[in-house]
Structure 1
Amino acid sequence: MQRAPSGWEEYKKLVNEIFQMIPDKEMYRDAALERCRVCSVVGNSGNLINSHYGPMIDDGDFVLRINRGPTKGFEQDVGSKTTHRIIYPASAVDMDNSTHMVFFAFKTADLKWLAHMFTSHNVERGKMPVKSGIKANVNLVMVVSPSFMKYVHHQWLQKHGRYPSTGFMTLIMALHICDKVRVYGFGADRQGYWHHYFEKILPKQKTGHHGGNFENAILKELHQRKKVELYV
């Protein structure tokens, strides 16, 4: 965003436009000794197949699902409840009226997409195909601050990879808003290849621009320190 040709002024203009459209309010500041908010963070790894984790996932107060991960037809393994859907433009899907749309903006064009998603549907075409409109409750849209994304990349990942994966940022976000975090559907196979529970991907797909191995090591350390519960 900082290197965009239009620079800081366009960024500020887009932010102002977005927060005229969606609620600008603090959320999840209700931490208290008597509260124990349990969150299920559900990734899309093929290791969810035949896991039978569905009921345990749905038992969470919040169920955070990442990108396109579906529930229909996979309820036994991934559950059916979704309170928060984490997306960016290329991974956007329709969602019901009770689901929070949690938006990650990696570049200025992503903010432009969001600014027009519920109004003109006039979406710029980039390298990745994106929808010109989705079904979502505009009153439940949440935009994650780019400063938080930078914090995750610098402090948690020590700049491994070009930028964090949406899955890892969702995990760190959950640590900030939940009292107990349960993690499902994360991880690659021993060769470092990734596949999803809902589709067949060529077996030579690796982690791309993300520091997948480093992210996985941090997740395992969090599990060992009992900061999260990791289910594989």
Structure 2
Amino acid sequence: MGRWRYVVLTFWYSFLFSTVLIYFTHFHNSPQKTRQQPSFLYSLRSNSLGRLFAEQDYVSLESLQKRFSGLSISRVFRTIAGEESSRAYIEDIVISGKEEDVNKLLANATFMNGDGEVEVKVIEKVNVPVTATVDATTVDYVHDNHTVKPTPPPPVPGYENIKDGETLRLHCDFCAVVASSGHLVNSSAGPEIDRYPCVIRMNSATTVNFEIDVGQKTDIRVIGMVNMKDLKNHTEWQDELFRNESTKASKIIVPWLYNSAIDKETDEYYLIAKEFAEIYPATEVVLLTPDKMKTAEDIFKAEVGISRKEAKTWLTTGWMTMLFAIDVCDAIDVFGLAQDNHCLLHPNDTTPYHYYEPDGKTECSYYKVSEEKLTQGHKFITEKAVFERWANKHTISFLYPHWHASSNKMNKTLETPF
């Protein structure tokens, strides 16, 4: 009896020990599977046609994150075309977490703009890890611990990196082209401008101390080659354009304004641009190919009726900027560009030529003198009439001042000084 009791107890203890060992080695020490919680892509849309989503007008994601700490909240800014060629914005908010927590958030958070409550719609519901992130330029998610990379931007023929000759790769769904005009003074357009996926500015137009009216975000600078020398001589401009994380551009486009052939051994503007590319490697310095520059001149002749040389003028930085924007942007909002007849309708207008020189020359007086010179000077008024034509061919809108392009000018001969 004692022997059998010993055998049974031995077997029982062995079984118990094996069970405990299996538990600790298999269940306790093995990695646990991460439970994936649903993520919801919400779209905040507004039917209003004015400025939307200014920083003070809607609840911030930071405050939501503090109030609902169990949720992962991120944001993607996108845009859609609104009615009558105006723009309505979409603020996509990706929320990861339990469905009841997501619903609780929406029930307790009100998203507002200047004209009232914003419509909230669920765009998509997907299963992703709670730690999912969103690429800043897409709505691609992190699936199964690997990032779904967006398709590389397409090449843009006619634009080449000054260092290696590689063709520029860039595509923007929606661009803000910010003119340097005084029409932006006291506009408070800065927060709106900074929310565009791509912001294009011209030359060395500063944003420092003018952020409320013109914003500070800059993705691309188009700098006419003659301005390279001034940029080299002003280190504070270089700080803003190349060093300051809040204002620097990722790409500098340098068009030649009066010829299509560049002597890369002796041209001082080319050598300065190349020097900038070496000093500031994080910024891509891009030149136009000779064919692209010739195309810009051909377009001028086709629109105006005579060649640039016959007109005894240069192409403006604004002209080259608009052509560039048409090449890379699906839709364009131009800030600060008045209609070609603005000064005719407002002969006593005192709007400054540049927003950053409020006490300088006025726009209308300078335009009048420049337009009427038949031996030199930019033809700004003629140029604006051409831009209005382009707005009928492409998705281009004009803001601050806001005006609609007239289709009546499409088949009419432009009134020019030539």
Same fold (TM over 0.5): yes
Q: What amino acid is aligned across from residue 40 of structure 1 in structure 2?
A: A
Q: Distance in 1 between matches of 2:269 and 2:394?
A: 39
Q: Distance in 1 between matches of 2:283 and 2:207?
A: 23
Find the partner of 2:194 among 28, 40, 58.
58
Q: Is the 8 A contact 2:183 2:352 kept in 1?
A: no
**Structure 1 alignment gaps of length 5 or more:** 1-18, 31-35, 122-132
Partner of 1:169: 320
Quick one: which of 289, 294, 298 aligns to 1:145? 289
Distance 1:229 1:165 in 2: 20
Tell whether the 8 Å contact from 1:102 to 1:141 is kept in structure 2 after alignment: yes
Q: For residue 190 of structure 1, what is the amino acid of its counterpart?
A: C
Question: Is the aligned partner of 1:196 residue 2:342?
Answer: no
Q: Which among 313, 332, 352 is matched to residue 181 of structure 1? A: 332
Structure 2: how far apart are the matches of 1:96 and 1:85?
10
State the one-letter code of the partner of 1:102: I
Task: Using the TM superposition, give the Cα deviation of residue 152 of structure 1 relative to its aligned residue in structure 2, in angstroms.
Answer: 2.2
Q: Distance in 2 between matches of 1:205 and 1:29?
A: 35
Please say which structure displays the higher CA radius of gyration.
2
Q: Identity rate of aligned residues, in percent?
A: 23
Deviation of the 1:227 alpha carbon? 2.4
Q: Match for 1:114: what amino acid?
A: Y
Q: Which residue of 1 aligns with 2:366?
A: 205
CA deviation profile, 1:71-119 (whole Å, cap 9, x unmatched):
1111111111011111124253412255212112245479433325555
Aligned residues: 197
1:38-49 matches, cutoff 5 A: 38-49=174-185
Please identify, of 194-203 and 41-50, the stretch whose mean Cα deviation from structure 2 is larger: 194-203
For 1:102, the equivalent position in structure 2 comes to: 253
User: Is contact 1:22-1:138 (8 Å) kept?
Assistant: no
Distance 1:225 1:118 in 2: 35
Question: Match for residue 167 of structure 2?
Answer: 26
Describe the shift of the 1:111–1:185 C-alpha distance in structure 2 as closer, same or farther (beyond 3 A): farther
Q: Distance in 1 between matches of 2:274 and 2:280?
A: 9
Match of 1:114 in 2: 270
Residue 165 of structure 1: CA displacement?
Answer: 0.8
1:39-66: CA deviation from partner (whole Å, max 9, x where unpaired): 1111111001111221221122221110
SS at match of 1:39: strand
User: How far did 1:224 drift?
Assistant: 4.8
Relative distance call for 1:163 and 1:148 in structure 2 (3 A) is farther
Counterpart Cα distance in 2 of 1:139 and 1:195: 29
Task: Give the Cα separation in 1 of the matches to 2:299 and 2:195.
Answer: 31
Q: Which residue among 216, 222, 226 is the counterpart of 2:384?
A: 216
Which of 395, 398, 401 aligns to 1:227? It is 395
What's the CA shift string for 1:133-168, capped at 9, x where partnerless?
996446511112243233223224433642321012
SS at match of 1:65: strand
Distance in 2 between the 1:20 and 1:171 partners?
Answer: 20
Structure with more strand by fraction = 2
Distance 2:336 2:299 in 1: 24
Query: Relative to 1, partners in 2 of residues 1:49 and 1:224: Cα closer, same or farther, differing over 3 Å?
Result: farther
Q: Which amino acid aligns with 1:112?
A: E
Contact 2:173–2:330 (8 Å) recurs in 1:
yes
What is the aligned partner in structure 2 of residue 127 from structure 1?
Answer: none
Contact 1:48–1:78 at 8 Å: present in 2 too? yes
**C-alpha distance 190-71 of structure 1, shift in aligned 2 (>3 A):** same
What is the one-letter code of the residue matched to 2:291?
Answer: S
Q: Which residue of 2 aligns with 1:128?
A: none
- TM-score, with length taken from structure 2: 0.41
Secondary structure in 1 matching 2:366? coil
Mapped partners of 1:214, 1:153: distance in 2: 15
Higher RCO, Cα 8 Å, sep 6+: 1
**RMSD of aligned Cα (Å):** 3.3
Distance 2:226 2:291 in 1: 19
In 2: Cα distance, 1:146 partner to 1:211 partner? 23
Query: Counterpart of 1:223 in 2: which secondary structure?
Result: helix
Separation in structure 1 between the aligned mates of residue 162 and residue 389 of structure 2, nearest angstrom: 40
2 CA distance for matches of 1:141 and 1:209?
27
For 1:224 and 1:169, how far apart are their aligned partners in 2? 18
